[in-house]
């Protein structure tokens, strides 16, 4: 049974794919390194577009980018860029496609050194930040923390990861729980357990 519109965050809807994304995925902590990278890349493709555009094309993106395996994509070159530019099922933007390949190489370096999951979750002491925002207008577009993460990602070789993109990413992967207090998902997400992998890292 679909919940009332007033029980969701204001941005969710009316498209069913958007409602499902809000109810089941947005804000749920993601701890898998590859999945984190995929989401950051897709948020980069969103720049200048609406998120629902990306959601509707996500299946095409996953097929075109071979399941978003960064170890595979890190080996790609100009021939692959040309192939992707001819794929009408994705966002055909040369800069974003080239950035994805570069971002895959940057991911490989971070993954080999620390783990991309550890690299990101360390910024929030390995536990989601819990907010208690009441109105859509209270939700920030970026924060000092997203600015710092953006700077560090760029230093590591990432592109299309400005502070606004990074904050949207943090919200989506549950690094921060920005579901409004009145949203039916807020408390459920807040109650999810922390990844046990991080227990030793966080003391």
Going by the annotation, the residues of the binding site for Zn(2+) are 9, 22, 179, 183
Structure token digits, residue 172 = 């989506």
Annotation: binding site:
9, 22, 179, 183
Q: Give the C-alpha separation, 12 to 19, whole Å.
A: 6
- Taking CB atoms within 8 Å and a gap of at least 24, the contacts of 141-145 are 141/167, 142/166, 142/167, 143/167, 145/170
CB 156 within 8 A of CB 113: no
CB 175 within 8 A of CB 124: yes
Residue bearing tokens 């009408």:
88
């Amino acid at each position: 049974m679909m919940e009332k519109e007033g029980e969701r965050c204001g941005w969710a809807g009316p498209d069913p794919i958007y409602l499902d994304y809000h109810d089941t995925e947005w804000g749920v902590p993601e701890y898998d390194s590859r999945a984190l990278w995929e989401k950051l890349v897709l948020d980069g493709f969103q720049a200048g577009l609406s998120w629902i555009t990306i959601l509707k094309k996500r299946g095409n993106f996953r097929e075109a980018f071979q399941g978003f395996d960064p170890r595979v994509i890190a080996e790609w070159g100009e021939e692959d860029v040309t192939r992707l530019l001819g794929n009408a099922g994705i966002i055909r933007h040369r800069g974003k496609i080239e950035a994805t390949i570069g971002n895959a190489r940057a991911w490989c370096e971070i993954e080999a050194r620390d783990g991309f999951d550890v690299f990101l979750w360390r910024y929030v002491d390995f536990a989601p930040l819990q907010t208690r925002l009441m109105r859509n207008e209270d939700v920030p577009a970026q924060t000092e923390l997203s600015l710092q993460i953006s700077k560090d990602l760029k230093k590591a070789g990432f592109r299309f990861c400005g502070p606004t993109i990074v904050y949207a990413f943090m919200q989506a992967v549950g690094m921060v729980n920005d579901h409004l207090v009145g949203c039916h998902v807020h408390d459920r997400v807040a109650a999810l357990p922390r990844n046990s992998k991080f227990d030793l890292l966080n003391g």
